[in-house]
Chain A
Amino acid sequence: MKKKGTRIRDISVMIAGIAGDGVLFTGNILARILKRQGWWVYTYRDFPSNIRGEPTNYTIRASLDRVQSRADEIDVFMAFDCGAIIDHADKMAEGGLLLCDGVGLSRSTPAQKKKRTYHIFPLRKLARENFKSEIYKNMIALGALAYILDLDFGVIEKLISEAFLKKKGKEVVEKNIRAIRLGCQQAEKIVEPEELHPLVERKEAGRLLLSGNDAVALGALAGGCRFFAAYPICPATEIWQWLARYLPGYNGLVVQTEDELAALNMALGAAYAGARAMTSTSGPGGSLMMEAFGLAGMTEIPVVVAHVQRVGPSTGIPTKTEQSDLNQWVCGSHGEFPRIVLSPGTVEECFGFTIKAFNLAEKYQCPVVLLTEQDFGQNLFTVKRFDWNEVEIDRGKLLSQEELDGIKDYRRYELTADGISPRALPGMKNGLHMVESNEHDVRGYRDEDPENRVRMMRKRMNKLKSAARDSIPPKVWGEREAKTGIIGFGSTFGPIREALSQLRDKGIRAKYLQMRTLWPFPVKKAGEFISSCDAVYIVENNYSGQLSRLVQSQLRIPARIQIKNILNYSSLAFRPREISTEIQRTL
């Protein structure tokens, strides 16, 4: 329970309503205000995959320390309707404050009983009476929240001006600011001083607020991606929308294709011609790309696929998170071919790994998958400014015309010690060759001879040996000497790190292995980590424990070490407490 009268260092605010209410817009503005006031922010959206009419909620977590997961409880709850309360009131923290537009709950709600305060706050009525339009309820709500959290009005007014001035004009800006002030005054009348949640004052720290999808797009641009082809799909489309705005300024191109089959094939065509090329997708789009994924492996063309996982199978739940496509990208497509699968755990890593993905693709001449999740893709995070020193472009064995001129009898798939052959591009002199989706010889011509088949399989697969050494190693967090281990990949990073500190508070020492490359599997580092534990919990957002199976298929694990899975396939991201209590319960 938060102590009254003291300023707060960690808060979770939920805004909930019906899709179309403006929950996302209001939440995004609040997140940005908090970021600009120097807070670390993490937003969590729980949206249906339609535009209007179904319940939706948006939680803003803000802390003085870096946060990257959902809070275990809600401190302040702004409900645009009563249905939202029924869905989420049980998540209210003790001492929590709830404002709801409308009457619908009796005074004896569970939320009331346990030191939680509930006020009716007539948002729509206020909006109608003062502005003749219900749309202003969002800014009235924002004003009330600003009062409750004691936010800086200077920051708010500047943001509102940025949001509306160019698109809607001065009058709209002023009207919105008036609505915010009204919300603030009304909240002052209703909310008792001891119910307030005033935040510790902080100064803007020059950080950025962006989503994983934003960071992937930025990483692609910085990493030299100049060709992007995709088909619209939730929750990956932001990558494309962003690149569509900026790639033309870099003499690059974004193409909307008729489907995902075309998207990856077109990216492959551009990559074969010499561009750094990429596509992004999710769910069923990934399934359609499997065919061309194998083509990239067979023909040794460097291409990057950013796959933002959503709930599957089939259409699944398009706007919610899961980690159930690991198997698909690590094992998928027919036949066997080298591929690299990266899994960033932070937004900074989304940026850095995307750059790395292009370098690995060109160095090892194979497809590279950047596997993220909806939780990453569409939620906002405060991040430090990017380190430009990280940005380097390595085009591997791509030949210059001069180098190619010096080669007598060029062979595209020349056998080499590391399996990687010097690459000529169409349009180059002295580099004529064939690229074959069939099995082929060193010149690229179809060859079904069994001995050639063995040679070429070995050549391609051998590339992974050097890629394994060059890829991104897993990272260990927490207490190195601990005997309890946690393994996870991707967006479980935030909740697992927070669960580690919750366990520490309970006197349980634990450590965490963050898998950053899923394939080629980091056998040595993962093996060392597991060997140093007595019990290992593998935490993932899926039903069958795909990472757990991968780990157990790649390592020989001594019987003394217990492997347990903590799985969440509810479509929601983990709350840290779900992980820490499960470990406490079963250890």
Chain B
Amino acid sequence: MRREKDYHLSDPTWCPGCGIYGLFAALKMAAGDLDLGPEETVIVTGIGCHGRLNNHFRSYGFHALHGRTLPLASGIKLANPRLSVLSISGDGDAYSIGVGHFIHALRKNIDITYLVVDNRIYALTQGQASPTTPLGHVSISAPFGTKELPLDGPRLALASGGTFIARGFSGQPQKLAALIKKGIQHKGFSFIEVLSPCVTHNKIISAQWFKEHISPLDEDPGYDPRDRKQAGEKLIKEDKIPVGLIYAEERATYGELVLPESDHPLVGNDLDLDVKKFEGILEEFQ
């Protein structure tokens, strides 16, 4: 049985107090709880401060292009469904440059886990407004305040056919680890938005701000994450940010629908040509 420390490859160097430390801890806890084999796990990261995470996590890692983690991770999973594939993005990665991929990954329901680190700012490029930056927020890219409405990832996910939609907070790594664990166990595309303060470029949306603005769903005894309508209503309410498991349903994964021989990943195919079978195909060109 592996433990948290078995996934700790090296010490990360994010700014002291950065929310991504909380995600890093939560991910190691979840991996330990599930006893994930490092050699059977691939973590794909995008561009942003989160992108370094797989440099420090013991598993196979792929630091991809900005916004393109999902198609890459999908290709890995479909070619070898035996791997546990996680994709990590920032809010810029997921909701801006890669938002097209996000919607279609939700539709396809490929069995990967997607963690979106939301610090509501472009941190690695020094603090420009991101798609989740609140209206009117002053930053170096918007000295007179942003004029665009912020985007709500879980709301978009629900509208796009997401089968596992959750939101966690990096300041509560235990709870976040539990959500990640559930997400990895979920059969299909699991999406977890991780609220994560940037201590350097976003002085307003701090850890304290998040603490004051979140509303844990598990404290609402009437809330049923299998109820789509309830989930929608919860997400539309503007007063608080719901955290916890927002919505989950069972639906056939893309892999189940298109890969009949799931016991034989296509990476394991014998590539030698069966000439007789091939000659049969050529008949249509007569």
Contacts and interface: CB of A to CB of B under 8 A. Distances in A.
Whether A and B are associated in the same complex: the answer reads yes
A209 B285 contact: yes
Contacts of B77: 269
Given A209-B285, A261-B71, A251 B266 contact: yes
B31 interface: no
B267 interface: yes
A292 B39 contact: no
Contacts of A266: 71-72, 74-75, 78
Interface string A266-308: 1111111111110000000000000110010001000000000
Contacts of A265: 64-65, 68, 71-72, 75
Interface string B48-81: 0000101100111111110010111111111110
Given A36-B286, A262-B104, A227 B39 contact: no
Nearest to A247: B266
Given A253-B266, A272-B62, A432-B39, A426 B285 contact: no
Contacts of A250: 269
A224 B55 contact: no
Contacts of B103: 258
A36 B278 CA distance: 21
Nearest to B281: A246
Nearest to A429: B39
A259 B100 contact: yes
B285 A269 contact: no
B38 interface: yes
Contacts of A431: 39
Contacts of A248: 258, 260
A513 interface: no
B101 A258 contact: yes
Contact of B79 (A259, A270, A388, A430): A270
Nearest to A355: B273
Contacts of A267: 75
A274 B61 contact: no
A208 B75 contact: no
B79 A227 contact: yes
A388 B113 CA distance: 43
Interface string A430-443: 11111111100000
- Residue among B52, B63, B264, B275 with the highest chain A CB neighbour number at 10 A: B63
Contacts of A275: 79-80, 266-267, 269
B42 interface: yes
A267 B79 CA distance: 9
B39 A445 contact: no
Given A226-B266, A426-B60, 4 more contacts: A259-B100, A268-B72, A273-B75, A446-B55
Interface of A: 36, 208-210, 214, 218, 221-222, 224, 226-227, 229, 246, 248, 250-253, 255, 257-259, 261-263, 265-277, 291-292, 295, 299, 385-386, 388, 391, 393, 425-438, 444-446
Interface of B: 38-40, 42, 44, 47, 52, 54-55, 58-65, 68, 70-80, 82-83, 100-101, 103-104, 258-261, 264, 266-267, 269, 271-273, 275, 278, 281-282, 285-286
**Top 4 A-B pairs, shortest CB-CB distance:** A269-B75, A224-B271, A262-B71, A274-B267
29 contacts: A208-B285, A222-B278, A226-B266, A226-B267, A227-B78, A251-B264, A261-B68, A262-B71, A262-B100, A265-B65, A266-B71, A266-B72, A269-B76, A270-B267, A272-B62, A273-B75, A273-B76, A277-B75, A291-B65, A292-B68, A299-B62, A388-B273, A426-B80, A432-B59, A434-B55, A435-B61, A435-B62, A437-B65, A444-B61
